[in-house]
């Protein structure tokens, strides 16, 4: 096929440019602006850890809380932060980011509030209710509701106490079982 024939076919086909109202839809998993839901965030730092260009930084400002900082100008939109977020606090918008020449417009700062431990008053970020419901079902079991607002150290103390109580109960049962077994053997003789 000669070049003149190709040119003739292309020119006969008309314009291929779409009007704005005929815009092509974005694909299903399009990675637009990074969205951060502070109600689901625990400030664990996983997103900052997996962000190779360093677009996400978490600052600990105790006792006020944590500050989640994001710089879209540094982001490569690789999706690792969304993939590894255990509480689904991060997601991508399905629309592209707006073009802007002001670098400050690319920076996002969100505060993640801390609460005080109900026992020792240490500030910490509790697991969000939607995450707990996903893990334990709705309504939340009473033992989960009782430890929800305890810091990590106090939760460990409670768990250790429960383990000790459980092991004492098992040991007592085993001891009574041994005694009853011995008595049964002695009565047979």
The residues, any chain, with a CB within 8 Å of residue 127's CB and separated by 6 or more, are: 42, 87, 148
User: What CATH number is given for 24-113 in this structure?
Assistant: 3.30.70.3270
Residue ranges covered by each domain of the chain: 24-113
Task: Give the pLDDT of residue 82.
Answer: 93
- The pLDDT tens digits of the residues spanning 11-42 come to 887 777 777 777 777 777 778 889 999 889 98
C-alpha R_g of the chain? 30
Helix (H) or strand (E) holding 91: strand 90-92
Please give the average per-residue pLDDT across 93-108, as a whole number: 79
Residue 181: band (very low, low, confident or very high) from pLDDT cuts 50, 70, 90: low
- The pLDDT tens digits of the residues spanning 38-97 come to 889 988 899 999 999 999 999 987 667 789 999 988 999 899 999 999 888 999 988 777
Task: Give the pLDDT of residue 183.
Answer: 67
What are the backbone angles phi and psi of residue 56, rounded to the nearest 5°? -115, 130
Task: Give the pLDDT of residue 172.
Answer: 55
Task: Give the pLDDT of residue 188.
Answer: 67
Task: Give the pLDDT of residue 123.
Answer: 87
Q: Which residue has the higher pLDDT, 24 or 1?
A: 24
Task: Give the pLDDT of residue 176.
Answer: 58
Rounded Cα distance between 77 and 56, Å, is 12
% of the chain with per-residue pLDDT over 90: 16
- The pLDDT tens digits of the residues spanning 135-154 come to 888 888 888 888 888 888 98
Please give the average per-residue pLDDT across 167-181, as a whole number: 61
What are the backbone angles phi and psi of residue 141, rounded to the nearest 5°? -60, 150
Residue 182: band (very low, low, confident or very high) from pLDDT cuts 50, 70, 90: low
Please give the average per-residue pLDDT across 144-173, as a whole number: 81
């Amino acid at each position: 096929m000669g070049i003149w024939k190709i040119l003739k076919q292309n020119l006969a086909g008309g314009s291929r440019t779409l009007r704005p109202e005929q815009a092509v839809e974005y694909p299903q998993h399009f990675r637009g602006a990074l969205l951060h839901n502070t109600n689901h965030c625990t400030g664990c730092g996983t997103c900052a850890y997996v962000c190779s260009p360093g677009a996400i930084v978490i600052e600990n400002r105790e006792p006020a809380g944590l500050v989640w900082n994001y710089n879209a100008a540094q982001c490569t939109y690789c999706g690792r932060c969304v993939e590894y977020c255990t509480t689904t606090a991060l997601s991508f918008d399905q629309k592209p980011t707006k073009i802007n020449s002001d670098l400050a417009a690319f920076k996002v700062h969100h505060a993640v509030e801390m609460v005080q431990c109900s026992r020792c008053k240490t500030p910490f970020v509790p697991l969000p209710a939607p995450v707990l419901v996903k893990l334990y079902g709705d309504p939340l079991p009473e033992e989960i509701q009782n430890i929800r607002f305890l810091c990590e150290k106090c939760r460990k103390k409670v768990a250790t106490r429960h383990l000790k109580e459980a092991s004492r109960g098992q040991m007592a049962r085993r001891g009574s079982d041994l005694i009853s077994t011995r008595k049964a053997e002695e009565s047979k003789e």
